[in-house]
Structure 1
Amino acid sequence: MSGFTTRFAPSPTGYLHRGHAFSALTAHQAALEAQGRFLLRVEDIDRTRSRPEFEASILEDLAWLGLTWEAPVRRQSEHMAHYAAALEQLAGRGVIYRCFRTRREVADAIASAPHGPMEAFTGAPLPADEEARRIAAGEGFAWRLSLSAAEAALGGFGDLWFLETGAGPAGEAGAIVARPQVGGDVVLARKDVGVAYHLAVVVDDALQGVTHVIRGHDLFEAAHVQRLLQALLQLPTPTYRHHGLLTGPDGRRYAKRDQAETLRALRERGVTAEDLRRDLGF
């Protein structure tokens, strides 16, 4: 077995569809060709939308497709201590801060930014006395990554890059200079939720020994901020391979709202796993 390790990491917030099948098959085939490892990770940190029945369906759908994976399956909800430790490490480096703005306030701040609504949000910690008062009052907050503090801690972002062996949305490939600025001061955790996507993914990939991240190019921009977190936490950087997204007859990419194209619905219509694999190019 080679040192190649990749993963498929769905969220149990709905049923899998054709697009998920394509991504899972792409990663699984890459692992087979490299004589490496294929892992399944359930990203269930969204406690309000994750459902046991969706997780059960994920396992059923992937087995129906003919995929195999190592046991046990890693469930993010069972590893919150790992994410808390990473957050504490970032706090120790002084690169995160409490943000008390609501989502609406953040959206308003972005809309009123000097360069227009496409600018990412950046903020700063509150004065110590005001922060203490709001914490004492029980106000909600998010832990945000401070781009300015992170840049200072690393002595700049110039040495940050990652290898792209697939292609980003605009055909980006090869050695990509990381641009963490595209995400702004991203949320890493919330008061009521122990961790957010970027931090959990970076920690999981490192702990699971993932060497190759294979996923849709809708997550290409995420690689930029994830590369920054890897540097701050002194974690290895995997090789990235982003692929195109499947679209339906209307030209829109498949989403969990497309109930007619879920794998469950396809099976009910008599589509076999062999039919679907062939249709997807496998």
Structure 2
Amino acid sequence: MYSVNYHRASSVADAAKLIKKGDAKFLAGGMTLIPAMKTRLAAPSDLVDLGHIPELKGIKVSGKTVTIGAGTTHYQVANDEKLKKVCPAIAELAGLIGDVAVRYRGTIGGSIANNDPAADYPAAMLALGATIVTNKREIPADKFFKGLFETALKEDEIITAVTFTAPAKAAYQKFPNPASRYAIAGVFVAKDKDGVRVAVTGAGDDGVFRSKQIEAALAKKFDASALEGVSVPSDSLMGDIHASPEYRANLVLVMAKRAVAAANA
């Protein structure tokens, strides 16, 4: 094991100072960074632990406005009763992430900052039209996710919370890899007075994206039957040992139908 300096930040301001040491990396739940370090895919000189900062934790619900601290774990999101009442879709999504150990350690902020192309939360943020709040600014989800493992975050920028207005209807459905539980294709649908938003994860060759074809069909009729005859182009979808682009295109449509049915239930 190579040498690494560990720093436990006591506040967001403290973390912002510590990250300037050497080739430092922020550590949230560590579900991605620690395995990457073990396999030498990442070798930071310093780790700045965000896991003990009280201001990053907790869920607030005010009417339909939801604010989730970046350090809130998947388990906490999945089991918050107020959140379940106002936006059950995101609570259900959190309960589908990984296994129990991952849900107890992993955080919403860490997941969004990492922006794994098969992660669940990016689809929720995009479909809900969420705002990503950092220690420096507020970034609309449409401008936050830039591509594979790429976001609008600066190197010393820290996600402090995410906020969104709970829609009238929403649901998430995914076809998981049986080993990792990551999405081979996952679809989050949200309907409100401003229209319909549909975000897809696990399938795009450039990460999470909105499906304009599915949105257009559901804008006319928010029902699974409205997706009959709709086709999802496969030329921008990923292909790997788990599924071809064409298979993923079909999965996206199937998951979208299931998500709409669940939203209407």
TM category, shorter: under 0.3
Hey, which of these two has a bigger chunk of strand by percent? 2
Specify the structure having the higher radius of gyration (Cα): 1
Could you say which structure has the higher helix fraction?
Answer: 1
User: More relative contact order in 1 or in 2 (CA 8 Å, sep 6+)?
Assistant: 1
